[in-house]
Structure 1
Amino acid sequence: MPQQAFQTAKRLTENIERVVLGKTEVVRSLVVALLAGEHVLLEDVPGVGKTLAAKALARSIEGRFTRLQFTPDLLPTDITGSMIYRTDTREFEFAPGPVFANVLLADEINRAPPRTQSALLEAMSEGQVSVDGVTHALPSPFIVVATQNPYEFEGTYSLPESQMDRFLMRTSIGYPVREIERDVLRTHRMGEPVDNLDPVVSLDEVQHAQNIVRQVKFDNQLVEYLLDVVDGTRTTDFFRAGVSTRGALSFYRGCQARAVTDGRDHVIPDDVKQLAVPALSHRVMPAGIFQGASREGVEQKMEQLVQTIAVPM
C-alpha cells in the first residue's frame, strides 16, 4: 500500500522538477502538503519561481486549477462566490467562486487586507464555504498554495495568526545557484515550460495516497517526541505563543506524508526533526525583546529548540 502512494509522490516530484530546477526541498514540501491534505505558503522576494512551483504542481494533477491574484480591492465574495438573482427563474442562485478548485493558487496573498484573507479560513480547515447561511462543500482533494512577498515590501499586510495556522509549511524558494540559473535561461527562452506539463496523476490517485498517509505508523515514542517539540514552543522564554493543537495535528500528518515520500510505512525521528522548522516556525510568536525578530531569527530559535530535545532511540 505505501508503495502505491510512494509511486504517486515520485511521479509528481519528477514532473514538477522538470520545470522547477534545483529546488528539491521546495518540490518535496509541495508534494508532502498535498499528500497530507494540507496547505503550503511560499514566501520569498518576487521573481524567484513561487508562482511557477504552484502552477507546476497544479498542472501535474488531473483536476481543476484556479489562480487568484490577491489585491487590496479584492472582496471575500470574489473568493468564495455569491448569490446572484436569475431573472429566468426569479430565484437567487449560488455562483461558486475560484475557491471551488482542487488546487487554488492564492498569489501574493498578503497584498489583500486581513478581512479578505480570512475568507479562506473555513475553506482551508473544513473544505467548505458558507454563504448566506448555506454551506457548500469544496472539491476533494483541495489544496491552497499561497505565495507572498516578505512583509517589509511595500503594499503588504501581515497574515492573521489564524490564517498562518492553517498552512502546514512555510518555505522559501531562494535564489538559484549559477549553474541552475543558466539552465533556467536556456529552458525559458522559448516560453514557459510549465505550460507544456501534462498531468501525471489522477484525483483518485491523490485521494488514495492521502488515505494511505493517514495509515502510516507513528510509534508512541515518536508521538511523545513530537509533543515534546510542540510543548517546547509553549514553555520557552523566546516565544510568547506556542504551537496550537491544530498545528500539532498538522505537524503529525506532515510527518506521515514525509515518510511516504521516502517509501516508508512508518515515521522515523528524522521526519519530525526535518519538518519541525518549516511546519512550526510560522505558528509561534516571539516574546519580549525578541518580538521584532526576523523570520530567519525565529527559525534559528526553533532549530535550537529542536536540538535541545532528546531524540528517542
Structure 2
Amino acid sequence: MKTETPSVQHVAISADEAGQRIDNFLRTQLKGVPKSMIYRILRKGEVRVNKKRVKPEYKLLAGDEVRIPPVRVAEREDAVVSPHLQKVSALSDAIIYEDEHILALNKPSGTAVHGGSGLSFGVIEALRALRPEARFLELVHRLDRDTSGVLLVAKKRAALRSLHEQLREKGMQKDYLALVRGQWQSHVKEVQAPLLKNILQSGERIVRVSSEGKPSQTRFKVEERYAFATLMRCSPVTGRTHQIRVHTQHAGHPIAFDDRYGDRGFDRQLADTGLNRLFLHAAALRFTHPKTGEEMRVEAPLDEMLRRCLKMLRSGK
C-alpha cells in the first residue's frame, strides 16, 4: 500500500484558530497520528511556533507560524476508512442543514459519533473523510451510538466556542422522542434524579440514580398513547450520560429496546412492529446561530423503522 512521503508544513494561525492549545491544534492537523507521538514531537522541539519551542499547553495567537515536522500517518488509516466508505456516502445523504459555520445531520442509529471504545470509526471521522479539504470539523455535542437524530457539528472554532457556551448556559434546547413502556402519567412533567456514572472493567458505562450522583433534570410531555406504550417528548435540562434512558426507567417506563436499562417483556410485545433498535430519537434542536444571532430550530425526521412501529401501534395490530 503506497503512502505519501510526508514533508514539513508551515501553518499560519488564523483569528478563528487562535486561542486553542498547540497539542489540540496538532491533533486536528495530524489526523490519525497517536497522541503519544504528538507529545513526543512537542517534547523534542520538532514543533516550533515562530521558530521557538513551546509546551503542549501553549495557546496559539492569531498570526503565529507553526512548523509541523514530517510525521508518517500509520498506513492502517486507509484500511480503517475503506470498509466504511458506504457509511461515509450514506452520511452525506443524512445532512439536514449546512452553512459556512455549522452542519447538522440526522445521525443513523448504530453509528458512533466518534471512534474509540473499541470502535475505529465514527461520524466525525466519516465527515472528515468526506470533507478532506475542511480545516475544522468538531462535534458540538454527542449522541449515544444507538440514538438517532439531530447531531450538530461546528465548521469553525468560533462557532464551536459559541455553541459550547450555549450548552453551558442551558441556552440550547434538545427535544427527543422516546417510546416507553406502559401509560405515562400526565402529571409527571419532570424527573429530577441525581445520576452516578460507573465504568465497568469492560469499559462499558452504566449510569444509575444515586444521592452521590450529579444533579440531573429532564422534562417530559406525552405525545401519543397506545395500548401498552406511550410516545414521549423528552427535553433534558442537564446533559448527563444516558440521562433520558435512566430517568424514564426511574419513572417506571423504560424505553423500547434499551439493551442496558430496558425491559425484555416490553420488547417482546413490540416484536410484531418490526422494531429492533432503541426507540430514542433526537427530533429537534433549538439554538442561537453562532454568527447571525438568529434563533434556529433544526428537525430530524424519524427513520422508516420508527415510523412503521408507530403506524402499527396506532392501528392496534
Please indicate the TM-score interval, normalised by the length of the shorter structure: under 0.3
Larger relative contact order (CA 8 Å, sep ≥ 6): 1
TM, length-normalised to structure 1: 0.22
TM, length-normalised to structure 2: 0.22
**Greater helix proportion:** 1
**Greater strand proportion:** 2
Q: Which has the larger radius of gyration?
A: 2
